Structure 1
Amino acid sequence: MIQLEPPLRVASQADASELAELVNFAGEGLPLYIWEGLAKDGQDPWEVGRARQIEKAREGQIVVVDFGDGAVASLTGYPIGSEPKPIVDDFPALFRPLQELENQALESWYVNVLACYPEYRGQGLGSRLLHLAEQIAREEALRRISVIVANNNAGARRLYERHGYEVAATLPCVKDGWETDTEHWVLLIKTLRPVGGR
């Protein structure tokens, strides 16, 4: 495991509220829409989101930026294997284009969530977390790093492209009842140079 220096640390269960909010920022509101569908009668959908983030934090999958008052930015990701995931007939339509794009990013480390509270943007936290993502990818012997962004998320596109990510594919967004201005999902991929290489 890569050694994390403050203000970076592994997320804990106590970060659940902040993590749910950060995930929803990164997902353009799609996570909250999903949690609403999963909530039982009368259950707060944010409670569903917090529970899901606690599960991931318990597994040590999330890194946060914390200046002493709680998480203000987060990174969640995972390696995509060498075989595409099958998309069966009953695969949810909303997720189909996202999975199809992931299937085009085989053998890469996938940035699932990179988010920052608005008041902390412009301080280089996204760049710092992206650098960490590259370190993790290299440690896992992966030569590529990937991310999917909404076509209308101009800020995220600029950040990734500034760091050498290039558009690899786009697919139309299937809204399936989700109210959004997103028209397309965009897969961005960066090939990692060997350490010390040119």
Structure 2
Amino acid sequence: MLSIDRPFRQATPDDAQDLAEFVNMAGEGLALYLWEQMATAGESAWDVGCSRAKRDSGAFSYRNAILRLVDDDAVACLIGYPLEDAPAPADYSEMPPMFVPLQQLEDMVPGTWYINVLATKQAHRGHGYGNELLALAEGIATSLGKHGLSLIVADTNLGARRLYSHLGYQEVAQRAMVKERWVHPGTHWVLMTKSLQIENKQPEAGAG
């Protein structure tokens, strides 16, 4: 695994509030909508988000998050993880309808390193922090021997799609969004991938 050094650091449970904000930012409000549905009496949507960020497992866990720092402040975030090479078939009938198109797209890219969240706080945009985190993601994926990177973006997020395309990502599939009461201008989720060249280790002299 690639070592993480400043200006980056691995997230901790103490970063839960920042992580919740980054996840909601990347999802354009989808996370907050879902957390509102999950909140119990006396619990806010942000309480739910923070609780999920503090978990030791799951996609949205601090263990999968890397922060980009300015001084000691977290200003950008990458959340990602390797997808299994041969995952068990997903049972779409057992998951909330909103998640089905996202899961269907994710299931098309087994064996990749999946970028779940990439977000930069508004006041710190335009400094290339997203590019830095994407380069870090590529290094992590390569160190793990993954053959590519993958991500899902809303069709209306044209800026992000241009950035990813410029960096070598290709749009490979789309699925219609299921919104329920989530208010968003998009109509489709877009799956994008980038292939990586995996270097084969040379045999040692005299081997064989």
What is the rounded CA distance, in whole Å, between the counterparts of 2:18 and 2:106 in structure 1? 26
Q: Deviations over 1:152-179 (max 9, x none)?
A: 1112111111110000100110112212
Question: Is the CA contact (8 Å cut-off) linking 1:19 and 1:71 kept in structure 2?
Answer: no
Q: CA deviation at 1:65?
A: 0.8
What is the rounded CA distance, in whole Å, between the counterparts of 2:124 and 2:5 in structure 1? 19
- Number of equivalent positions: 196
Partner in structure 2 of residue 26 of structure 1: 26
- Letter of the aligned partner of 1:77 in structure 2? G
Q: CA deviation at 1:195?
A: 5.5
Tell whether 2:205 aligns with 1:170.
Answer: no
Rate the CA distance shift 1:60–1:88 in 2: closer, same or farther, 3 A. closer
Tell whether 2:66 aligns with 1:82.
Answer: no
Partner in structure 2 of residue 108 of structure 1: 112
Q: Which has the larger radius of gyration?
A: 2
Residues 22-171 of structure 1 mapped to structure 2, 5 A cutoff: 22-55=22-55, 60-84=63-87, 85-171=89-175
Instruction: Give 4+ residue runs of structure 1 displaced > 6 Å after superposition.
Output: none
- Letter of the aligned partner of 1:144 in structure 2? G
SS at match of 2:63: coil
RMSD of aligned Cα (Å)? 1.8
- Letter of the aligned partner of 1:100 in structure 2? Q
- Letter of the aligned partner of 2:85 in structure 1? S
Q: Deviations over 1:42-66 (max 9, x none)?
A: 3111011011112258762210011
Q: Deviations over 1:10-57 (max 9, x none)?
A: 112221111111110101111001100110013111011011112258
User: What is the aligned-residue identity percentage?
Assistant: 42
What is the rounded CA distance, in whole Å, between the counterparts of 2:134 and 2:77 in structure 1? 10
Q: CA deviation at 1:88?
A: 3.5
SS at match of 1:174: coil
What is the rounded CA distance, in whole Å, between the counterparts of 1:41 and 1:18 in structure 2? 23
Q: Which moved more, 1:131-140 or 1:65-74?
A: 65-74
TM-score (structure 1 length as normaliser): 0.93
User: Unaligned 5+ residue runs, structure 2?
Assistant: 201-208
